Chains A and B, each alone.
Chain A
Amino acid sequence: MKEELETANRPDNTAFTQQRLPAWQPMLSAGIVIPGFVLIGLAFIGIGVALFIASQNITVLEKDYTGVEITSDCYKCSNPSDKNCTCKLDFSLSNLFEGPVFFYYGLSNYFQSQRSYGVSKDDYQLSGDLDYFKTPISACSPYQYDANQNPIVPCGSLANSMFNDTFKLYQIVNGTKKLVPFDGKGIAWWTDYNIKYRNPSVTPLKNAFNGTVKPPFWSKPAYELDTSDPSNNGFVNQDFLVWMRRAALPDFRKLYRRITEGDYASGLPAGNYSLEIGYNYPVLSFGGRKKVVFSNVSWMGGKNQFLGIAYLVVGSLCVVMSTVMLIVYAKFKFPEDD
Chain B
Amino acid sequence: SRKVDSRTIYVGHRPCPTTEALIPPKFCDNRIVSSKYTVWNFLPKNLFEQFRRIANFYFLIIFLVQVIVDTPTSPVTSGLPLFFVITVTAIKQGYEDWLRHKADNEVNKYLVTVLEDGRRARKESEKIKVGDVVEVVEDETFPCDLILLQSSREDETCFVTTASLDGESNHKTHYTVPDTEKNLESLSATIECEQPQPDLYKFVTVFSRCVVFFRSLGPENLLLKGATLKNTQKIYGVAVYSGMETKMALNYQGKSQKRSAVEKSINAFLLVYLCILVSKALVCTTLKYVWQSRPGQDEPWYNQKTQKEKDTNLYLKMFTDFLSFMVLFNFIIPVSMYVTVEMQKFLGSFFISWDKDFFDPEIQEGALVNTSDLNEELGQVEYVFTDKTGTLTQNNMEFIECCIDGFQYKYADSGTELDGFCVTDGPVSMLQQKAGREKEELFLRALCLCHTVQVKEATGQGDGVGDGMIHPADLRGFIASSPDEVALVKGAMKYGFKFLGMESKNMRVMNRNNDVETYELLHVLNFDPVRRRMSVIVRTKSGDTMLFCKGADSSIFPRVRQEEVDRIRMHVERNATEGYRTLCVAYKLLSSEEYDQADTGLREAKLALQDREEKLMAVYNQVETGMSLIGATAVEDRLQEEAAETMEALQGAGMKVWVLTGDKMETAKSTCYACRLFQRSTELLELTVRTLHSWAKSKPVSAFSVPPRSWSSANQDYGFIIDGATLSLVLNSSPDSNSSCYKSLFLQICQNCTTVLCCRMAPLQKAQIVKMVKNSKGSPITLSIGDGANDVSMILEAHVGIGIKGREGRQAVRNSDYAIPKLKHLKKLLLGHGHLYYVRIAHLVQYFFYKNLCFILPQFLYQFFCGYSQQPLYDAAYLTMYNICFTSMPILANSLLEQHICMEVLMDNAALYRDVAKNAMLRWGPFLYWTLLGVYQGLLFFFGVRFLFSNPALQDNGQVFGNWSYGTIVFTVLVFTVTLKLAMDTRHWTWINHFVIWGSLAFYMFFSFFWGGIICNQKRVKQIKIYILSLRFVT
Contact = CB atoms under 8 A, between A and B. Distances in A.
Contacts of A114: 303, 866-867, 869, 871
Interface stretch (B446-454, B538-546, B944-952): B944-952
Interface in B949-987: 949-967, 987
B303 A157 contact: yes
Nearest to A19: B351
A23 B899 contact: yes
Contacts of B356: 10-13, 17-18
Contacts of A17: 350-351, 354-356
B1023 A300 contact: yes
A56 interface: no
A241 to B, nearest CB: 10
B369 to A, nearest CB: 12
Contact of B303 (A5, A117, A190, A258): A117
A25 to B, nearest CB: 6
Interface in A1-19: 5-6, 9-13, 17-19
B306 interface: yes
A19 B899 contact: yes
B903 interface: yes
Nearest to A140: B306
Contacts of B420: none
A297 B366 CA distance: 70
B691 interface: no
A10 B956 CA distance: 65
Interface in B996-1035: 1013-1014, 1016-1017, 1023, 1026-1027, 1030, 1033-1034
Interface string A20-34: 011111100000000
B963 A157 contact: no
A248 B965 contact: yes
A298 B953 CA distance: 10
B897 interface: yes
Contacts of A297: 953, 955-958
Contacts of A250: 865-867
Given A26-B987, A111-B869, A301 B963 contact: no
Contacts of B958: 100, 102, 187, 255, 258, 295, 297, 301-302
A21 B992 contact: yes
Interface stretch (A63-71, A170-178, A271-279, A306-314): A306-314
A326 B353 CA distance: 47
B988 interface: yes
Contacts of B1014: 191
A283 B964 CA distance: 24
A191 B1033 contact: no
B364 A141 contact: no
Contacts of B959: 187-189, 255
A285 B307 contact: no
Contacts of A298: 956
A142 B992 CA distance: 54
A195 B1013 contact: yes
B695 interface: no
B1033 A26 contact: no
Contact of B953 (A5, A245, A253, A282): A253
A76 interface: no
Interface in A284-338: 285-287, 295, 297-304, 306-307, 310-311, 314, 318
B315 interface: no
Contacts of B296: 285-287
A117 B302 contact: yes
A191 B1013 CA distance: 6
B962 A111 contact: no
Query: Looking at B301, B903, B949, B951, which has the most chain A CB atoms within 10 Å of its CB?
Result: B951
A68 to B, nearest CB: 14
A85 interface: no
A157 B353 CA distance: 63
B51 interface: no
A191 B991 contact: no
Interface string A182-199: 000011111100011000
Interface extent on B, as a size class? 35 or more
Contacts of A120: 303
Contact of B956 (A18, A242, A301): A301
Interface in A155-212: 157, 160-161, 186-191, 195-196
Given A114-B866, A248-B865, A248-B965, A301 B954 contact: yes
Contacts of A111: 300, 303, 866-867, 869
A216 to B, nearest CB: 10
Query: Looking at B350, B354, B869, B959, which has the most chain A CB atoms within 10 Å of its CB?
Result: B959
Contact of A247 (B297, B962, B1026): B962
Given A23-B989, A190-B1016, A249 B307 contact: no
A44 interface: yes
Contacts of B967: 248
B960 A26 contact: no
B871 A115 contact: yes
Nearest to A287: B296
A97 to B, nearest CB: 14
B365 A24 contact: no
A112 B1030 contact: no
A116 interface: yes
Contact of A142 (B307, B867, B957): B307
B653 to A, nearest CB: 20
Contacts of A143: 304
B353 A112 contact: no
A307 B302 contact: no
B870 interface: yes
A254 B948 contact: no
A246 B948 contact: no
A246 B967 CA distance: 12
A285 B300 contact: yes
Given A19-B897, A19-B903, A282 B301 contact: yes
A264 interface: no
A295 B953 contact: yes
Contacts of A141: 306, 308
B307 A5 contact: no
Interface in B475-489: none
A303 B358 CA distance: 66
B990 A23 contact: yes
A187 B957 CA distance: 8
Contacts of A124: none
B58 interface: no
Nearest to A161: B302
A186 B1017 CA distance: 14
B652 interface: no
A252 interface: yes
A247 B351 contact: no
A301 B989 contact: no
A303 B303 contact: no
B98 interface: no
Interface in A198-244: 242
A47 B1026 contact: yes
Interface of A: 5-6, 9-13, 17-19, 21-26, 40, 44, 47, 100, 102, 104, 110-118, 120, 141-143, 157, 160-161, 186-191, 195-196, 242, 245-250, 252-255, 258, 282, 285-287, 295, 297-304, 306-307, 310-311, 314, 318
11 contacts: A6-B364, A23-B899, A188-B959, A189-B1017, A248-B952, A286-B297, A287-B296, A302-B952, A303-B951, A304-B948, A318-B1033
Given A246-B962, A249-B966, 12 more contacts: A5-B364, A18-B355, A111-B303, A111-B869, A116-B305, A117-B302, A157-B302, A247-B963, A255-B960, A300-B1023, A306-B948, A310-B1034
Interface of B: 72, 295-297, 300-308, 350-351, 353-356, 358-359, 361, 364-366, 862, 865-867, 869-872, 897, 899, 902-903, 944, 946-967, 987-993, 1013-1014, 1016-1017, 1023, 1026-1027, 1030, 1033-1034
List 3 A-B pairs, minimum CB-CB distance, nearest first: A161-B302, A302-B953, A248-B966
